[in-house]
């Protein structure tokens, strides 16, 4: 039996609901099946975890999602009211705060995006950066690297002494300025890539903190799709501060050994590691 046939057979037998809904796509992109097959064989211990087992069962039923966990389907039908301000920025009421989206975005797509954000940051989601005892603390400097719409920073705006948003997509800048207009004195928006060098399009976390005179413990949230090593190298001073915490999420195929090595080089104390779902890992560090 060839690898292509084996991959399709694995998906068809292991995920009948998924295969029924996305069979044509899977037939065309059979490598998805190969990756799942190889991952299941390489890391069998992950699939013994109760949380992962629950997520896998959800996928088997056909409830495919980037973030699959028990009860995630409830967000699919959540009613969302989208309004548009005088400048054409659509927004939703997020816990009594205005969360703005890109100017001119289709309200239906905004509602769908907001449901996805709520699913992503749900306490049971593998992408949730916070758990009991691992939170943004009062007085922290919150660095949101890869902020997009800024929902994580908005949820913690009252706790943080200052918030720094790193976002390189210019279409998000106006929306962020409107979302955080009420807190403009404690919010800095950086339209550059966080990296390990300072340049025309890049800046290090340490440079931002130093130039802004931002002292105290740091909560570093990373969602940079593979650029974590460069960001961490440029944050050596921040990571050496007592009480600093860092949270990042990434695909399980991107094994983050470099992060652990880098943090150990900084004499960091790695105290928390938790696998939360079949698709994603969440790791949290307190330094």
Is position 28 within any domain? yes
Length of the chain (residues): 287
- For residue 146, the model assigns a pLDDT of 86
Q: How far apart are CA 127 and CA 23, in angstroms?
A: 27
Residue 146: which region, alpha, beta or left (left: phi > 0; alpha: psi -120 to 50)?
left
Residues 27 and 155 in one domain: no
Q: Is the pTM value of this prediction over 0.85?
A: no
Residues 275 and 153 in one domain: yes
In this predicted structure, the answer to whether residue 286 has a pLDDT above a threshold of 50 is: no
Q: How far apart are CA 168 and CA 210, in angstroms?
A: 21
- 3-state percent helix, strand, coil for the chain, nearest multiple of 5: 40, 20, 40
Residues 145 and 60 in one domain: no
Residues 56 and 155 in one domain: no
Is position 282 within any domain? yes
**Domain termination site, one of 32, 64, 96:** 64
What is the DSSP pairing of strand 280-286 with strand 245-251? antiparallel
Mean pLDDT of 99-111: 95
In this predicted structure, the answer to whether residue 90 has a pLDDT above a threshold of 90 is: yes
Q: 55 is in which domain, residue-wise?
A: 3-64
- For residue 32, the model assigns a pLDDT of 54
Residues 47 and 159 in one domain: no
- For residue 14, the model assigns a pLDDT of 65
In this predicted structure, the answer to whether residue 261 has a pLDDT above a threshold of 60 is: no
In this predicted structure, the answer to whether residue 259 has a pLDDT above a threshold of 50 is: no
Residues 29 and 163 in one domain: no
In this predicted structure, the answer to whether residue 215 has a pLDDT above a threshold of 80 is: yes
Is position 93 within any domain? no
Residues 54 and 167 in one domain: no
Mean pLDDT of 10-20: 64
| Lowest-pLDDT choice from 11-25, 34-48, 218-232, 271-285 | 271-285
Residues 36 and 165 in one domain: no
In this predicted structure, the answer to whether residue 8 has a pLDDT above a threshold of 80 is: no
- For residue 97, the model assigns a pLDDT of 96
Residues 246 and 149 in one domain: yes
pLDDT-based confidence at residue 228 (cuts at 50, 70, 90): confident
Mean pLDDT of the chain: 76
Q: How far apart are CA 259 and CA 261, in angstroms?
A: 5
Beta-carbon contacts of 204 under 8 Å, excluding residues fewer than 6 positions away, are 194, 195, 196, 197, 198, 234, 235
**Domain termination site, one of 15, 36, 64:** 64
Residues 168 and 269 in one domain: yes
pLDDT tens sequence across 73-82: 788 889 999 9
| Lowest-pLDDT choice from 6-15, 159-168, 201-210 | 6-15
Is position 79 within any domain? no
pLDDT-based confidence at residue 266 (cuts at 50, 70, 90): very low
Q: How far apart are CA 70 and CA 8, in angstroms?
A: 26
- For residue 3, the model assigns a pLDDT of 56
Is position 39 within any domain? yes
Q: Give the number of domains in the chain.
A: 2
Is position 273 within any domain? yes
pLDDT-based confidence at residue 250 (cuts at 50, 70, 90): low
In this predicted structure, the answer to whether residue 275 has a pLDDT above a threshold of 50 is: no
By percentage, how much of the chain surpasses pLDDT 70? 63
pLDDT-based confidence at residue 55 (cuts at 50, 70, 90): low
Mean pLDDT of 246-275: 43
In this predicted structure, the answer to whether residue 283 has a pLDDT above a threshold of 50 is: no
Is position 124 within any domain? no
Is position 230 within any domain? yes
């Amino acid at each position: 039996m060839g690898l292509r046939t084996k991959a399709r057979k694995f998906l068809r037998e292991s995920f009948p609901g998924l295969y029924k809904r996305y069979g044509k796509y899977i037939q065309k992109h059979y490598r998805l099946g190969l990756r799942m097959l190889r991952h299941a064989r390489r890391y069998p211990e992950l699939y013994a975890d109760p949380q992962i087992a629950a997520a896998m069962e959800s996928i088997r039923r056909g409830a495919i999602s980037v973030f699959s966990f028990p009860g995630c389907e409830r967000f699919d039908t959540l009613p969302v009211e989208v309004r548009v301000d005088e400048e054409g920025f659509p927004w939703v009421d997020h816990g009594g705060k205005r969360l703005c989206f890109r100017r001119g975005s289709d309200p239906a797509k905004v509602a769908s995006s907001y449901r996805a954000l709520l699913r992503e940051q749900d306490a049971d989601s593998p992408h949730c950066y916070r758990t009991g005892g691992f939170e943004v603390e009062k007085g922290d400097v919150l660095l949101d690297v890869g902020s997009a719409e800024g929902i994580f920073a908005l949820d913690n705006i009252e706790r943080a002494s200052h918030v720094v948003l790193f976002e390189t997509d210019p279409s998000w800048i106006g929306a962020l300025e409107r979302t955080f207009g009420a807190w403009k004195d404690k919010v800095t928006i950086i339209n550059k890539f966080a990296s390990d060098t300072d340049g025309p399009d890049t800046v290090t976390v340490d440079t931002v903190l130093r130039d802004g005179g931002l002292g105290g413990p740091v909560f570093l949230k990373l969602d940079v799709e593979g650029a974590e090593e460069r960001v961490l190298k440029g944050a050596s001073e921040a990571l050496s501060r007592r009480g600093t915490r860092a949270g990042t999420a990434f695909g399980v195929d991107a094994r983050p050994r470099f992060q652990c090595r880098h943090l150990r080089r900084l004499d960091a104390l790695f105290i928390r590691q938790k696998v939360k779902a079949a698709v994603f890992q969440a790791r949290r560090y307190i330094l």
